[in-house]
Structures are given as structure tokens and as C-alpha cells.
Amino acid sequence: MKLSIVVPVYNEEKTLRAILEKILAQPQEKEVILVDDGSTDGTREILKSLDHPKVRVFLHPENRGKGAALRTGFREAAGDIVIIQDADLEYNPDEYGVLVQPIEDGVADVVYGARFLGGPHRVLYFWHYCGNKLLTLITNVLFNINLNDMETCYKVFRREALQGVEIKSDRFGFEPEITAKMVKSGQRIYEVPISYFGRTYEEGKKITWRDGLAALYTLIRFRLFD
């Protein structure tokens, strides 16, 4: 099955070449869709210099957020399976095989790579961990499911599961919104354990407590009103 790997990019000059090299080294048939969301640090110059038959680049004229970048990427995806891949080095493309296996086996429509199911991970921010667990708990309560990691980047979809799904969130509200819509549309969701090599704010981490509040609002919105 062909993979469409959608990579939202914003100011990742330091890691972009390394993550792209790791993605292209994977053995699966694939296309890589890089969506630059108004980078200002030299990322766009790297993207404009790329010349690879499996890589397509799309440039947003200004920063609109991760959700907006993923909307563009999903619209262009032509593979059987769509994988979200951040442009930093927190998530390891070597785990694509594990992530797509439930879909290839025909038992899942959506797979989440869960950071809290026993895979190796870098020890970092306690309150970020608490925030992730709280948002996941609220998701489980609102939608009567039993996820372990709603906020994970590694979300994998049969392309048909995304068809007809309109993503409204421009920023990090994408994570709860897509989760709500996958549950409400009856998709079969699986989780698999993954490794996680988180980075510090000094290393380029972008998500903040404000994004946590926005995620909470998004969960309630798409459970009760959408």
C-alpha cells in the first residue's frame, strides 16, 4: 500500500534535512508532501532547493497553523494510507511499519502512535505530560473511548477515512478535532506503542498551555455542537 506522508513545516531549518532523509530511507512505497506554513528562518530556502521525484512541496504565504498545513497536505495526498509526520526529530519514521500494520491487516481505519504505552522516551516536562493525560481523559469521557494519547503527532489513516472530513481548526486544535470526527464517523481506531524523543523550548518546541485550553474548547465544541 502506498503511503502519503504529510509533513507540516514551520521554522524547522535545523531538523528538516535530517527528518526528510529518515523518511525517504523507509522501504515502503511513498510520496512525501511538505507543507511550509510561512517559515521565516531559512526553511523555505531548503524546501525550494529540493529535487526528488517522491517529494512535493507546498508553500503557505503566511503562518496559518498546523491544522491549515494538514488541510493542504490531505487535499494533495494520493496514497492508500496517510501518515502525519512532524518536521522535528521527536517522532521516528523507522516506526512506519508498526504504525501501518493494523490498517494493512484490515482491522483498523485509523492508528494512533501512543507515547505512553511503554516505548522509550526522553524524560522532559511533567506538566506537559499531565496536560496530555488530562486532555486524553476528557476525550475518553466525552466520546466513551479508551485512548492513551490523543495529542500524539503520529496519526495514520486509510485515505477513505479522511474523505469528506472538513478540518476547521487552523492550529493545534486539529488533534482533538480529527479525533472527534474519526470517533463520530465510526472509524476503527487502534493504538500502537511508539518511541518519543521530545525536545525543549530551547530546541524549538512550540506548543504551550494556551494550546491546551484551545484543545479543551475544541473537544467540547465538536462533541456537543458540531
pLDDT greater at residue 220 or residue 79: 79
Q: How far apart are CA 19 and CA 85, in angstroms?
A: 9
Name the band, by pLDDT with cuts 50, 70 and 90, for residue 170. confident
Q: Return mean pLDDT, the chain.
A: 90
**From its phi and psi, is residue 186 left (phi > 0), alpha (psi between -120 and 50) or beta?**
left
pLDDT digits (tens, 9 = 90+) for 58-88: 999 999 999 999 999 999 999 999 999 999 8
| CATH code, 143 | 3.90.550.10
Domain carrying residue 45: 3-224
- Which pTM value belongs to this model? 0.89
Domain count, the chain: 1
